[in-house]
Structures are given as structure tokens and as C-alpha cells.
Amino acid sequence: MKTCIVISGGDAPGINAAIDGYARLAARQGDRVLGAQGGFAGLLDNRLVEIDTALSSLLAGRGGSILQSSRAPALRQPDARERLARVMAGRGIDNLLVFGGDGSIQHISPLLADWAVPCIFLPTTIDNDVAGTDCTLGHDSACNFASQALAGIRATANALPGRIFMLETLGAPTGHLALAIAYAGGAHLALLPEYPLELNWLAARLTRIVEREGHALVVLSEAYPAIDRLLKEIPQRTGIRIRYSALGHAQRGADASHNDRRLARDMSRAAWRAFKDGLRQGIVVERTGAVSVHEGGLPSAAKPAPDLDLLEFVNQL
């Protein structure tokens, strides 16, 4: 069996561990693994490399990906189906193992199914916004990265009271990531795009928190509406200065956590076994702690909004 690994869309911690897990397992069984450099655009251009297990093992815990990705809509080109078939036949590729987030799964998975291309997807995004799976690869690492930043901000907040500290996370367009970080980190407020708060109410709540605790610690998603307005008007309405930190893409490039390294190997092993069992289309999912391969595609509907009860608990509503 020969598999080609393709990274579609943004990177996430744990990709290297999953590549390493799949390649080492395949090598032990006499199978071969190629990797596309540059996502599906690279695959169509036949830019394929043999996976070097010595390199993948060395970098298994590092962020990023030893295979470059791409957001180019290469499979929408008129001749994409013929080019893909030609590359797969010419290189003797039996199936594709694709890493991608919600967009890749929703758009590319059904397309490859229509083309009868054997393919299994690994849900890979720090945003944790893929329907049908409790957790996506990379989410835990991004939370760990943010937790360390939040602890540093809290230390400064205690040493330098009388301020509002805000930490912006990635995660657009959803607030799943921000809520997970705010809850675990004990933030005073979480601001999510799905549940925007009225500005006067927010200003009054922040004022009371600072008066009571000496500082206010807020975690907000990058997709929260009108952040610039928030940063301008909250100090005007409260008389309290804001200190703002944005994690940016450093969060997505974090080293893989222990949980993500475990999840990566569980997911890659499940995918390899599914291919060996003859599965042609599927997505690896984690539900209630168990990893399995869901045959076919996932529901077309978006993942439900972040847990409102949990948000209300964090925000003391």
C-alpha cells in the first residue's frame, strides 16, 4: 500500500507527530508513504517526497509541518480530476491521508468522494470547530500555549493592579478556543463572537471586577465584533486602562502537547488500519475519549456554538 499525505489549509500542532506515527507504522508493515509539498496544488504538480522517518521522528513534537501546506483551491481547476488521477497512477498511490480543518473537510471530502479517490481526513485545527468530533488535532496545544501566556499576564496584573488585561486568541470564526482557554485559566470574562455583550453592561462589569479584585482578566476571540471600538470605548467608559495582548500565529505554531502527540498517533493508527480494512472514504474522530474512523463524510451543518452554560459560568451571568 502506498499513501500520499496532504496538508490542506492552516497548520496545527500535532501534524508532525501524526505524520511520524503513520509513516513509522507503514514502514514496519512494508508500506510506503509519500508527502505532497504545497498541499493539493503540490500534489497536482507531482511535487512529492518520500517521508523520511528519521526526520519525522526527530521533529514529531515540533509545531508546524515538515510538509508545506497551501490554501490554493487547486481541486477547483477544470482539469484537476484528470491531473490527480494521472499523478496517483504514475506514482502508484493507493490512497490519500489529508490533514485539514472544517473548510477542507466540508469542501474537499465530498469532492474526492465524487471522484472515487480513496481518502481519509484527520481533523486538524486549533479552532476545534469541526462537527462530529469532540476534539481536533492541535486544539490542546494551542490551549496550553495560551495558558502559559495567561499565567504571565496574571502575574503582572497582580503586581501592577488597577488595569484591565485582555488576551486575544486565534480561533476565527468561532469562540470554542477562547472559551476553553478562559475557563481553564480562570479568566473573569470570555468574549465570544457567537454571544457579543452589550458595551455598557461590559464596562460596568469590568469596573466592578477591578474594584473587587484589583484587576480584570479577559480572554476574547479574534473574531469578536468591533474589537477596535471595544479597546477605545471601554477605557472611556470605565476610566481604567487596558493592556492588550494578541497571541497571533505563534499560538498555531506551538509545540505539540502530550495530549496532542497521543491524539496524533491514535488518529494516524486508526487511519492506517481503516485503509488496510478496505475503507475508501472516512474521517477520524474522537468522541468521549475514543478515536475511530467515521465512514463517509461528516454532517454538513456547522459545529454547534460554544457551550452557553459554560460561558455564563465564566462570565458569572
Q: What separation, in Å, do the N-terminal and C-terminal C-alpha atoms of the chain show? A: 55
- How far apart, in whole angstroms, are the C-alpha atoms of residue 284 and residue 107? 16
> Residue 53: how many CA atoms within 13 Å on its side-chain side?
11
The residue whose grid cell reads 454532517 is 299
Q: Let me know the angle formed at the C-alpha of 94 by 291 and 117, rounded to the nearest 5 degrees.
A: 75
Q: Which of 20, 127, 129, 140 is catalytic?
A: 127
Residue 215: helix, strand or coil by DSSP?
Answer: strand
Helix, strand or coil for residue 26?
A: helix
Candidates 77, 31, 73; CA nearest to 5 is 31
Give the separation between CA 230 and CA 199, rounded to whole angstroms: 8
Question: Is position 127 annotated as part of the catalytic site?
Answer: yes
Which residues are designated catalytic? 127
